[in-house]
């Protein structure tokens, strides 16, 4: 049987934010310290919206919150999740009717949804912990800024320890409701007065920092707008080139670039053209993006931040990381720098769906890799070459699985070549040698279309046969992943001594009609036929695919 994800290694967090509720499910591999997102779901709730008092959570907001949490609960229960932590932030901790709201949550969802209302300082600390799972900045003194709907958190930390943390009642939703989206002077004056009066600037300047990092959805939206060249005269065509023809892959922007974005957002006194463009680009965040961008611009100016790096991870990941630390005491969460860099590059070009496809391909590839590893002696006897398969080898294969589809960002045509090009041209895969990067890139390049010609050996000891085997595993994994109803059940060496058998199983919720079963089996066997021919040509062993129909499989 294919090895499922161990339930004790799967953790979930729910972040009940002022504007958005977020569900996050993470798989953590303790032997390698790999921190991998396997599921996310967000819901716009806007706690406090339509309330007669800014200090109360309105009945409408309470209803939206309960409905959102019920959706999350359904996902968690369907996947038998038990390691769950729910946290509330600014809107809940500031609400005058907080106890009433939390009682409603308990009565509607039960005690497994006990909400931990975070203080501003605790929220800031957990955001810092989350950032450390995305960026390799453990050894640097960093300043993290997280702009939420009702508050902004600031934290200075180094070596995983918080040096200073603070939370100010400044948020994009709060500012928009207070000033509207046209009173730009009012927003700026209010922000400056509150920050200067808080003593934040003096404290941060006294402590100092090496790197400034933004971690919230608002700041990520700003970075994406800058990266895509929002508002440029070429019809908002995405700009990905920075000097010498290199793509801008890294997560960062400068204060000057932010200033230019704010000017474009406010172009023509909020003309209809600008509003339509803004709505199309930012979606639900459009209403609050101006306030958020102005707030960030003032923060960067007052704190002397010239450049800001961006983290895709924040509070939810910090909550999970703390759960992991409790489950595995003494484990170094910041050990796997290489894996973090693979995830960063994948997230740069892939949305949630393609990230999920990469994770699923990796899981299938691991099953095949481990299955074939048991029979490596068979390969060696037939090919008269040593074909040692170890965990280091799988690291390359897993990276290729996560990155094979990043080229789809530019369209489907020749996307495998685009994936290869992106991996090759940048230096963001921390800890990898140039030869290792080329190996990963070439694996991504050959996951579809033409088979590799083996012109060169990418790593010492990495033979033609091993590269061919890895290409075969990756190609098969992608094909199985694309058939959402199928799951790899086992791989075995057949009794006749002629080859290997891949046993696939239907994992759908409902039984399929006989005709549908036959159609699915015929389709997958046809697509696998080409891969079987390649496998046999390289290894002189047959590869047979068998599809079994069984509707009892779990969704996770």
- The residues, any chain, with a CB within 8 Å of residue 62's CB and separated by 6 or more, are 101, 104
Say if 454 falls within a structural domain: yes
Alpha-carbon distance of 534 to 545, in angstroms, equals 14
Give me the CATH number covering residue 400.
1.10.3210.10
Q: Which of 251, 250, 193, 285 is nearest to 425 (CA)?
A: 250
Query: Is 400 in contact with 420 (CB distance < 8 Å)?
Result: no
- Would you tell me the crossing angle of helices 286-302 and 255-265 to the nearest 10 degrees? 150
- Would you tell me the crossing angle of helices 415-425 and 391-403 to the nearest 10 degrees? 120
The pLDDT assigned to 544 comes to 85
Query: Which of the 8 DSSP states describes residue 463?
Result: -
Last residue of one domain, picked from the residues 260, 295, 312: 312
Asked if the model's pLDDT at residue 137 lies above 80, the reply is yes
Neighbours of 542 (CB within 10 A): 15
Last residue of one domain, picked from the residues 118, 145, 177: 118
Asked if the model's pLDDT at residue 231 lies above 80, the reply is no
- The residues, any chain, with a CB within 8 Å of residue 476's CB and separated by 6 or more, are 364, 368, 502, 528, 531
pLDDT band at 459 (very low <50, low <70, confident <90, very high): low
Domain identity same for 301 and 381? no
Asked if the model's pLDDT at residue 233 lies above 50, the reply is no
Say if 74 falls within a structural domain: yes
What mean pLDDT is predicted for residues 43-58?
Answer: 73
- The residues, any chain, with a CB within 8 Å of residue 261's CB and separated by 6 or more, are 222, 225, 226, 230, 231, 293
Alpha-carbon distance of 464 to 469, in angstroms, equals 9
Helices (H) and strands (E) in the chain, counts: 20, 14
What mean pLDDT is predicted for residues 228-237?
Answer: 57
Alpha-carbon distance of 384 to 376, in angstroms, equals 11
Alpha-carbon distance of 544 to 250, in angstroms, equals 43
Comparing 107-116, 352-361, 428-437, 538-547, the range with the smallest average pLDDT is: 538-547
What SS3 class is residue 445? helix
Give me the CATH number covering residue 254.
3.30.420.150
Say if 331 falls within a structural domain: no
What mean pLDDT is predicted for residues 106-122?
Answer: 88
Say if 485 falls within a structural domain: yes
What mean pLDDT is predicted for residues 484-507?
Answer: 76
Alpha-carbon distance of 542 to 537, in angstroms, equals 9
Say if 541 falls within a structural domain: yes
Phi, psi dihedrals of residue 504, rounded to the nearest 5°: -105, 150
Domain identity same for 307 and 365? no
Higher pLDDT, 464 or 323: 323
Element (H, E) at 196: helix 184-198
Alpha-carbon distance of 259 to 257, in angstroms, equals 5
Higher pLDDT, 353 or 4: 353
Comparing 342-356, 392-406, 539-553, the range with the smallest average pLDDT is: 539-553
Tens of pLDDT, residue by residue over 496-526, are 677 888 888 876 544 545 566 677 777 787 8
Asked if the model's pLDDT at residue 226 lies above 60, the reply is yes
pLDDT band at 370 (very low <50, low <70, confident <90, very high): confident
The pLDDT assigned to 163 comes to 95
Mean residue pLDDT of the chain comes to 85
Domain that holds residue 538: 339-548
Structure tokens at 444: 């991504």
Query: Which of the 8 DSSP states describes residue 169?
Result: S
The strand order across the sheet containing 152-158 reads 161-168, 152-158, 142-147, 211-214, 307-310, 252-254
Alpha-carbon distance of 525 to 457, in angstroms, equals 32
Q: Could you tell me where the beta strands, DSSP code E, fall in 228-312?
A: 252-254, 307-310
Asked if the model's pLDDT at residue 274 lies above 60, the reply is yes
Query: Is 373 in contact with 492 (CB distance < 8 Å)?
Result: no
Say if 556 falls within a structural domain: no
Domain identity same for 100 and 173? no
Query: Is 18 in contact with 151 (CB distance < 8 Å)?
Result: yes
Domain identity same for 381 and 528? yes
Domain identity same for 91 and 164? no
Domain identity same for 186 and 305? yes
The pLDDT assigned to 317 comes to 96
Higher pLDDT, 81 or 238: 81
Alpha-helix residue ranges (DSSP H) falling in 334-448: 337-349, 352-373, 376-383, 391-403, 415-425, 434-445
The pLDDT assigned to 379 comes to 66
Domain identity same for 35 and 142? no
Say if 129 falls within a structural domain: no
> pTM for this structure?
0.86
Element (H, E) at 144: strand 142-147
Rg (CA), the chain: 25
Say if 126 falls within a structural domain: no
Domain identity same for 159 and 299? yes
Asked if the model's pLDDT at residue 241 lies above 70, the reply is no
Domain identity same for 140 and 111? no
The pLDDT assigned to 330 comes to 87
Tens of pLDDT, residue by residue over 279-313, are 888 988 898 999 999 999 999 999 999 999 999 99
Higher pLDDT, 451 or 199: 199
* Burial class of 552 by CB neighbour count within 10 A (0 to 12, 13 to 18, 19+): exposed
Share of the chain above pLDDT 90, in %: 48
Query: Is 493 in contact with 375 (CB distance < 8 Å)?
Result: yes
Tens of pLDDT, residue by residue over 441-455, are 999 999 988 877 766
What SS3 class is residue 254? strand
What mean pLDDT is predicted for residues 526-536?
Answer: 84
Domain identity same for 343 and 301? no
What mean pLDDT is predicted for residues 204-223?
Answer: 95
Alpha-carbon distance of 156 to 125, in angstroms, equals 9
Query: Is 249 in contact with 428 (CB distance < 8 Å)?
Result: yes
Element (H, E) at 456: none
Last residue of one domain, picked from the residues 66, 87, 118: 118
pLDDT band at 554 (very low <50, low <70, confident <90, very high): very low
Domain identity same for 255 and 345? no
The pLDDT assigned to 520 comes to 72
The pLDDT assigned to 374 comes to 80
Share of the chain above pLDDT 70, in %: 85
Alpha-carbon distance of 278 to 286, in angstroms, equals 6
Torsion angle of the four alpha carbons 146, 148, 152, 153, in this order, in degrees rounded to the nearest 10 = -50
Give me the CATH number covering residue 36.
3.30.420.40
Domain identity same for 141 and 108? no
The strand order across the sheet containing 486-493 reads 486-493, 499-506, 542-548
pLDDT band at 131 (very low <50, low <70, confident <90, very high): very high
Tens of pLDDT, residue by residue over 178-191, are 998 788 999 999 99
Alpha-carbon distance of 201 to 196, in angstroms, equals 7
Strands 152-158 and 142-147, bridge-based pairing: antiparallel
Asked if the model's pLDDT at residue 117 lies above 90, the reply is yes
The pLDDT assigned to 372 comes to 82
Whole-angstrom CA distances from 14 to 41, 67, 85 are 10, 14, 6
Tens of pLDDT, residue by residue over 140-172, are 999 999 999 889 999 999 999 999 999 999 999
The pLDDT assigned to 423 comes to 92
What total of structural domains would you count in the chain?
3
């Amino acid at each position: 049987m294919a090895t499922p994800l161990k339930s004790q290694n799967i953790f979930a967090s729910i972040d009940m934010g002022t504007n958005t509720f977020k569900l996050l499910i993470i798989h953590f591999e303790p032997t390698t310290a790999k921190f991998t997102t396997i599921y996310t779901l967000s819901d716009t709730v806007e706690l406090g919206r339509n309330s007669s008092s800014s200090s109360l959570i309105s009945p409408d907001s309470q209803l939206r919150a309960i409905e959102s949490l019920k959706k999350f609960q359904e996902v968690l229960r369907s996947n038998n999740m038990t390691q769950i932590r729910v946290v509330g932030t600014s809107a809940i901790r500031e609400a005058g009717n907080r106890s009433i709201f939390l009682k409603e949550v308990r009565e509607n969802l039960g005690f497994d949804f006990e909400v931990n209302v975070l203080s501003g300082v605790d929220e800031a600390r957990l955001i810092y912990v989350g950032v450390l799972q995305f960026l390799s900045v453990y050894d640097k003194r960093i300043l993290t800024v997280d702009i939420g709907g009702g508050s902004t958190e600031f934290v200075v930390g180094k070596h995983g320890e918080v040096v200073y943390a603070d939370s100010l009642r400044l948020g994009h939703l709060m500012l928009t409701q207070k000033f509207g989206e046209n009173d730009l002077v009012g927003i700026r004056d209010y922000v400056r007065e509150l920050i200067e009066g808080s003593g934040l600037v003096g404290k941060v300047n006294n402590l100092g920092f090496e790197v400034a990092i933004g971690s919230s959805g608002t700041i990520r939206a700003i970075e994406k707008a800058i990266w895509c060249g929002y508002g440029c005269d070429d019809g908002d065509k995405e700009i990905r080139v920075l000097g010498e023809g290199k793509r801008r892959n890294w997560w960062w922007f400068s204060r000057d670039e932010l200033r230019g974005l704010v000017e474009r957002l406010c172009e023509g006194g909020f003309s209809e053209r600008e509003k339509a463009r803004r709505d199309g680009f930012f979606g639900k965040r459009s209403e609050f993006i101006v306030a958020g961008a102005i707030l960030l611009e003032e923060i960067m100016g007052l704190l002397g931040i010239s450049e800001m790096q961006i983290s895709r991870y924040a509070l939810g990941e910090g909550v999970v990381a703390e759960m992991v630390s409790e489950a595995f005491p003494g484990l170094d969460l910041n050990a796997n720098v290489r894996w973090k860099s693979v995830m960063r590059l994948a997230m740069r070009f892939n949305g949630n769906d393609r990230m999920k496809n990469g994770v699923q391909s990796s899981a299938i590839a691991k099953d095949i890799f481990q299955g074939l590893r048991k029979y490596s002696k068979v390969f060696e006897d037939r090919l008269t070459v040593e074909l040692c398969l170890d965990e280091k080898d799988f690291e390359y294969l897993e990276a290729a699985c996560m990155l094979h589809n990043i080229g789809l960002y530019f369209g489907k045509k020749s996307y495998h070549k685009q994936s290869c090009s992106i991996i090759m041209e940048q230096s963001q895969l921390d800890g990898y040698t140039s030869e290792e990067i080329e190996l990963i890139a070439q694996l991504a390049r050959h996951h579809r279309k033409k088979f590799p010609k083996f012109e060169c050996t990418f790593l010492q000891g990495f033979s033609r046969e091993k590269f061919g085997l890895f290409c075969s595993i990756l190609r098969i994994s992608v094909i199985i992943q694309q058939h959402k109803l199928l799951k790899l059940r086992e791989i075995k060496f057949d009794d006749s001594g002629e080859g290997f058998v891949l046993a696939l199983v239907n994992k759908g919720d409902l039984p399929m009609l006989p005709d549908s079963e036959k159609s699915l089996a015929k389709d997958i066997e046809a697509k696998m036929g080409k891969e079987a021919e390649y496998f046999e040509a390289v290894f002189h062993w047959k590869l047979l695919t068998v599809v079994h129909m069984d509707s009892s499989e779990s969704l996770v």
